[in-house]
């Protein structure tokens, strides 16, 4: 298969979670508009580029470097999600009327934005990684999007929690870095078992993220 063909296959695989989440939100009738979805996805794609700059600044070898690499990606996503969060509230780009904009709604919105931004980041990363390290590209393509979505959920929720509960906000961001770092570490190890462990980490983190968003949306008393 040509390099171009492999690139588009990796991009297609990485796009599947984006499509799945979009359909999930629409079918569940969550108060999350197409505009919010599109902007969040764009933020995730854009966050790939400052992450590259941060990785040059935090270039560290060994195990510490693996977690520093994860930290730079989550930091990049955090900074752009903060900008998005502030813009949405400054420009009043919310779905619900003012009376319904409670803390639960803010947390649900930020968590959903983080999840989608993570999927957008994964689109760029899978394409870049597939071009540079084709031998391990397939596993990355299937697992990177769920990983970044799960970590993005935690980073997004940390943005919403920071004002009221900075300790919880920091804990969620740190947990995203740990999950991401453990995933990267497992993929660096040879053999089948580390790869299975990486998949388990991704599925567990994604499952808790999906359950978290469902719970937050249900708490709005606007969805079943």
16 alpha-carbon distance from chain centroid: 14
Asked if the structure places residue 164 within a domain, the reply is yes
Name the percent of the chain lying above pLDDT 90: 50
Q: Is residue 224 part of a domain?
A: no
Query: Mean pLDDT over residues 103-129, rounded?
Result: 88
Question: 117-157, pLDDT tens digit by residue?
Answer: 999 999 888 777 655 555 555 667 778 889 999 999 999 99
Question: Could you tell me the pLDDT band of residue 207, with boundaries at 50, 70 and 90?
Answer: very high
Residue 29 lies in a domain: yes
Total of domains in the chain: 1
Distance of CA 180 to the CA centre of its chain: 10
Range of the domain at 135: 3-218
Q: Is residue 53 part of a domain?
A: yes
* 223 within some domain: no
Weakest mean pLDDT among 128-137, 153-162, 210-219: 128-137
Q: pTM (2 decimals)? A: 0.89
- Hey, what are 215's tokens? 């719970």
Residue whose structure tokens are 């999840």: 115
DSSP per-residue string spanning the chain: --HHHHHHHHHHHHHHHHHHHHHHHHHHT-S--HHHHHHHHHHHHHHHHHHHHHHHHT---HHHHHHHHHHHHHHHHHHHHHHHHHHHHHTT--SS-GGG--HHHHHHHHHHHHHHHHHHHHHHHHHHHHHH-GGGHHHHHHHHHHHHHHHHHHHHHHHHHTTT-HHHHHHHHHHHHHHHHHHHHHHHS-SHHHHHHHHHHHHHHHHHHHHHHHHHHHTTTS--
């Amino acid at each position: 298969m040509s390099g171009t063909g492999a690139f588009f296959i990796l991009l297609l695989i990485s796009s599947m979670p984006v499509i799945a989440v979009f359909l999930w939100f629409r079918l569940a009738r969550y108060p999350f508009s197409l505009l919010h979805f599109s902007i969040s996805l764009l933020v995730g794609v854009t966050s790939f580029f400052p992450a590259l700059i941060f990785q040059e600044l935090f270039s560290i070898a060994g195990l510490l470097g693996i977690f520093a690499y994860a930290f730079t990606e989550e930091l990049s996503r955090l900074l752009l999600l903060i900008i998005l969060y502030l813009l949405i509230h400054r420009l009043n780009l919310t779905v619900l009327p003012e009376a319904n904009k409670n803390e639960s709604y803010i947390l649900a919105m930020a968590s959903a934005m983080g999840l989608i931004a993570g999927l957008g980041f994964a689109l760029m990363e899978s394409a870049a990684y597939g071009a540079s390290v084709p031998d391990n590209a397939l596993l990355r393509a299937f697992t990177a999007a769920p990983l970044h979505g799960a970590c993005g959920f935690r980073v997004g929720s940390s943005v919403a929690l920071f004002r009221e509960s900075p300790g919880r906000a920091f804990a969620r961001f740190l947990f995203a870095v740990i999950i991401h770092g453990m995933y990267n570490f497992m993929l660096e190890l040879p053999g089948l078992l580390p790869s299975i462990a990486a998949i388990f980490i991704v599925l567990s983190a994604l499952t808790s993220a999906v359950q978290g968003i469902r719970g937050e949306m249900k708490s709005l008393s606007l969805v079943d």
